[in-house]
């Protein structure tokens, strides 16, 4: 019997279930290894932008099953909508047992207050005509990650160090580096203005934990990263935040992956399509 690790709060984002780049099996192993009191899904969990019936593997559905099972066992699950699952925003502020669907979330714990949201509100590319361009870019990113995984498989066989195409591109494009810095600063300044102790985002796929200061105060900025490249989550335990990063072979599945369920898949398709 595997003993699950207790954690007070876990935050994950940018899983992008339904895309080639999603590391669903690794996420499933991680979720099976922990027992959080609160699990916050901070946007882009299901990639509705790229959703299609022809590609939604069993392992991706098993992540959804695992989250539902965790909720049934007492974990409070907060699903915060992002830009890739923005169609769920028409259902915002509803509850399914121990699962709560919201657009943003304010959480109080240990005499501290956290402001939690996905972060696409700061991104003009997710709105209007630019949203169409962003959708095309999302599909291109998905194929880039798929090619990257194949190249890394070859590099691993050759005993070479893995590489990330998208990270190299972002690092070399000054506008991308500047945009990320502006994103973090904007989120932090708004949180300081609202007198929050923490501001927690996703969206930019950059795990981060740092104090940001300005002339009126300071705030702890946190970003949960993603499960496409970084395979990271935020964990809060014993009054401290930390960035968790999944390591290969760190966890062994405690139970077999189940077979596809047509009823569950049809229900998921119906929710997304409506």
Q: Please write the tens of the pLDDT for every residue from 16-32.
A: 999 988 999 999 999 99
Per-residue pLDDT of 76-90, as tens digits, reads 999 999 999 999 999
Per-residue pLDDT of 115-135, as tens digits, reads 999 998 875 545 544 444 445
Per-residue pLDDT of 214-254, as tens digits, reads 999 999 999 999 999 899 999 999 999 999 999 876 654 44
CB atoms under 10 Å from CB of 126, counted, come to 20
- CB contact set of 60 (below 8 Å; sequence gap of 6+): 17, 18, 22, 24
Q: How many domains does the chain have?
A: 1
- CB contact set of 274 (below 8 Å; sequence gap of 6+): none
The CATH number of whichever domain residue 46 belongs to comes to 3.60.21.10
What pairing do the DSSP bridges indicate for beta strands 34-42 and 76-80?
Answer: parallel
pTM across the whole model: 0.78
What's the full length of the chain, in residues? 274
- Which residue's structure tokens are 């002339």? 215
Q: Look up the domain containing 196 and give its range.
A: 5-273
**Rounded CA separation 10/173 (Å):** 32
């Amino acid at each position: 019997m595997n003993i699950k690790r207790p954690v007070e709060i876990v935050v994950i984002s940018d899983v992008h279930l339904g895309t080639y780049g999603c590391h669903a099996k690794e996420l499933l192993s991680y979720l099976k290894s922990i027992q959080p009191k609160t699990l916050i899904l901070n946007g882009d969990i299901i990639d509705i932008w790229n959703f299609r019936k022809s590609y939604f593997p069993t392992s991706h559905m098993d992540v959804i099953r695992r989250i539902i099972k965790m909720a049934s066992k007492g974990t409070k699950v907060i699903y915060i909508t992002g830009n890739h699952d923005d169609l769920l925003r028409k259902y915002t502020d509803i509850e399914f047992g121990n699962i709560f669907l919201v657009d943003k979330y304010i959480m109080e714990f240990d005499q501290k207050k956290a402001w939690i949201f996905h972060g696409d509100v700061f991104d003009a590319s997710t709105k209007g005509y630019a949203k169409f361009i962003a959708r095309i870019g999302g599909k291109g990113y998905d194929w880039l990650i798929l090619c990257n995984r194949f190249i890394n498989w070859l590099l691993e066989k050759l005993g070479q160090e893995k590489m990330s195409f998208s990270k190299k591109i972002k690092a070399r494009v000054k506008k991308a580096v500047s945009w990320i810095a502006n994103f973090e600063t904007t989120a932090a300044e708004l949180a300081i203005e609202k007198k929050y102790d923490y501001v927690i985002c996703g969206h930019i796929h950059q795990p981060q934990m740092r104090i940001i200061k300005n002339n009126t105060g300071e705030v702890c900025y946190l970003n949960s990263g993603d499960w496409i490249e970084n395979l990271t989550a935020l964990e809060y335990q014993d009054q401290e935040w930390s960035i968790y990063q999944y390591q290969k072979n760190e966890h062994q599945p405690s139970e077999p992956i189940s077979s596809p369920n047509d009823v569950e898949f049809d229900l998921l398709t119906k929710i997304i399509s409506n």
